[in-house]
C-alpha cells in the first residue's frame, strides 16, 4: 500500500471493526471453474428493479471469476453457520477444495448452491466497476429461495456473532 494512504487506511480498518455487518457467501461459475467467497459488504440497492450489491477485492481469485461470470448466488447463512463463512474466507484455496465435505448442488456452468443456508438470492450480473482496490458488483435478483426461518449471522470486532433479537416486543 502506498504511504500516502497507509495511516488513514489503518484507521479506517480500525473504525470499521466497530460496525456489525451481515455475512454472506457468494458463489459463481464460469466454464469448468466454480468457487465461493465470504462477503461482508453485501446490501440491497434497489427494488425497481430489484438490485443488490457487494464489493470484491481485485486481488481475490473470485474477482477474476466474476469478470467472466454472468450469474452468481448470494447465500445467507444462519447464525450457527460460522464454519461455512470461515471456509470461504480462507485464502489460497483451489476451487474444488473450497467445497470439500460441504452439502451443495451444481449444474454444469452454473454457480454452486450451498444447502441448508437460510436464504439464496439467484442473480445475474448487472454492472461491475472498479473503485480503488475493489470492484463494486451490482446484481439483478432473478429468484429468491427461502429455506428456513432463522436469524442470519453477523460479523463484528473480528468475530462472528449471533444476533440477539429482543422477543419481548
- The residues of the shown chain that bind ligand FMN, judged by CB under 6 A, are 23, 37-41, 54-57, 60-62, 89-91, 93, 155
Smaller CB separation from ligand FMN, 54 or 99: 54
Which CB atom, from 39 or from 121, has the smaller least distance to ligand FMN? 39
Burial 89-103 (b: 16+ CB within 10 A, else e): beeebeeeebbeeee
Tell me the closest approach of the beta carbon of residue 10 to ligand FMN, in angstroms. 17
Give the separation between CA 160 and CA 22, rounded to whole angstroms. 10
Find the residue with minimal CB distance to ligand FMN.
Answer: 40
Residue 160: CB minimum distance to ligand FMN, A: 7
Q: Are 34 and 95 in contact (CB under 8 A)?
A: yes
Q: Which CB, 40 or 78, lies closer to ligand FMN?
A: 40
The smaller minimum CB distance to ligand FMN, of residues 56 and 76, is found at 56
CB of 48 to ligand FMN, least distance (A): 25
C-alpha cell at position 96? 474444488
Task: Residue 127: name the closest of 61, 73, 70 by CA.
Answer: 70
Least CB distance to ligand FMN at residue 168 (A): 29
User: Quick check: 75 and 26 in contact, CB under 8 A?
Assistant: yes
Q: How far is 153 from 90, CA to CA, in rounded Å?
A: 18
What is the closest distance, in whole angstroms, from the C-beta atom of residue 85 to ligand FMN in the complex? 6
Are 24 and 74 within 8 A, CB to CB? yes
Q: Nearer Cβ to ligand FMN, position 159 or 166?
A: 159
Amino acid at each position: 500500500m502506498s504511504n500516502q494512504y497507509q495511516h488513514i487506511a489503518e484507521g479506517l480498518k480500525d473504525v470499521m471493526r466497530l460496525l456489525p455487518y451481515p455475512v454472506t457467501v457468494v458463489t459463481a461459475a464460469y466454464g469448468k471453474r466454480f468457487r465461493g467467497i465470504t462477503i461482508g459488504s453485501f446490501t440491497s440497492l434497489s427494488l425497481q428493479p430489484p438490485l443488490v450489491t457487494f464489493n470484491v477485492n481485485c486481488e481475490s481469485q473470485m474477482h477474476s471469476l466474476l469478470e467472466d461470470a454472468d450469474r452468481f448466488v448470494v447465500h445467507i447463512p444462519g447464525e450457527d453457520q460460522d464454519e461455512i463463512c470461515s471456509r470461504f474466507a480462507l485464502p489460497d484455496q483451489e476451487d474444488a477444495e473450497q467445497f470439500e465435505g460441504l452439502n451443495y448442488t451444481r449444474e454444469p456452468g452454473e454457480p454452486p448452491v450451498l444447502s441448508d443456508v437460510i436464504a439464496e438470492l439467484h442473480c445475474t450480473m448487472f454492472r461491475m466497476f472498479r473503485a480503488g482496490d475493489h470492484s463494486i458488483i451490482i446484481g439483478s435478483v432473478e429468484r429468491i429461495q427461502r429455506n428456513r426461518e432463522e436469524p442470519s449471522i453477523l460479523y463484528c470486532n473480528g468475530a462472528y456473532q449471533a444476533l440477539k433479537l429482543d422477543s419481548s416486543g
